[in-house]
Amino acid sequence: MTAKTRLVAGNWKMNGSKASLMEIEAVKTGLANPPGVEVAVCPPATLISRAHIVVGGSPILVGGQDCHAEVSGAHTGDLAAEMLADAGATYVIVGHSERRADHGETDAVVRAKAEAGWRAGLTVILCVGETRAQREAGEALAVVEGQLAGSVPDGARARNLVIAYEPVWAIGTGLTPTGADIAEMHAHIGARLAERFGEDGAGMRILYGGSVKPDNAAEIFAVAGVDGALVGGASLKAADFLAIINAARPAE
């Protein structure tokens, strides 16, 4: 049992139009009262302001999926963390493997984005995770340790940082690591954070992400050291997302 309040966050990625706000409305309606867990939805940036209005009066928080490191300037197409906050975001995801792969984001870039999120008052969800080749080569723990060392800034505290462990090979594939592999990685991440940040590090939440679905959520949340989930595909449908949120509720 963990004393940390779990976080279940939905990453819509490049999916959703204003019609999808109905799904957020349905999550709001379907949430248990109190929900027992923290809930966040990270829609595409075009929907953040509207999502912020839709979640009004509910415990659901809204987040962005990425931000630029700078406050403003000549960066066509980019969004500053301050803009996300202004639109109503509380969270921002940085370092997702799709950003690292599609946009060549290095650990240094991810670190600067995390600092930008804090500068804007956002809580940062920072993603790490190994590829299939790295796991097969027995390098998973070392790769994630390197990502943590390179992309988590010194200003990290339990209140401003959440780590999401997302094995690249488990994202969108229907594959998940074994419970033992998830437990091993979460323990490893927790130990590195505690080593570097002391009690604050030990208090940081570590989410699991990668093919979390209604039918495997309970099993994943039962794994030691799993403080919540970052959910992709299954967060797009209210019924699926609600089932995952309910699976994360602490047993009474």
Catalytic residues: 96, 166
Hey, what are 147's tokens?
Answer: 């990502």
Q: Which stretch binds ligand 13P (CB under 6 A): 81-89, 154-162, 164-172, 189-197?
A: 164-172
Q: Are the C-beta atoms of residues 99 and 204 closer than 8 Å to each other?
A: no
Size of the site for ligand 13P (CB under 6 A): 14
- Among the listed residues 20, 90, 134, 211, the single contact to ligand 13P using CB under 6 A: 211
Q: Which stretch binds ligand 13P (CB under 6 A): 69-77, 101-109, 166-174, 240-248?
A: 166-174
- Among the listed residues 54, 89, 122, 171, the single contact to ligand 13P using CB under 6 A: 171
- Among the listed residues 121, 172, 198, 250, the single contact to ligand 13P using CB under 6 A: 172
**Residue 128: beta bridge partners?**
165
Q: How far is the CB of 198 from ligand 13P (least distance, A)?
A: 28
Residues 6 or more apart from 65 whose CB is under 8 A from it? Answer: 11, 12, 13, 42, 44, 45, 92, 93, 96
- 28 contacts ligand 13P (rule: CB under 6 A): no
Plot region of 121 (φ>0 → left; ψ -120 to 50 → alpha; else → beta): left
Hey, what are 33's tokens?
Answer: 């009262």
The 226-245 contact track toward ligand 13P, x by CB under 6 A, reads ----xxxxx-----------
Plot region of 73 (φ>0 → left; ψ -120 to 50 → alpha; else → beta): left
Q: How far is the CB of 23 from ligand 13P (least distance, A)?
A: 15
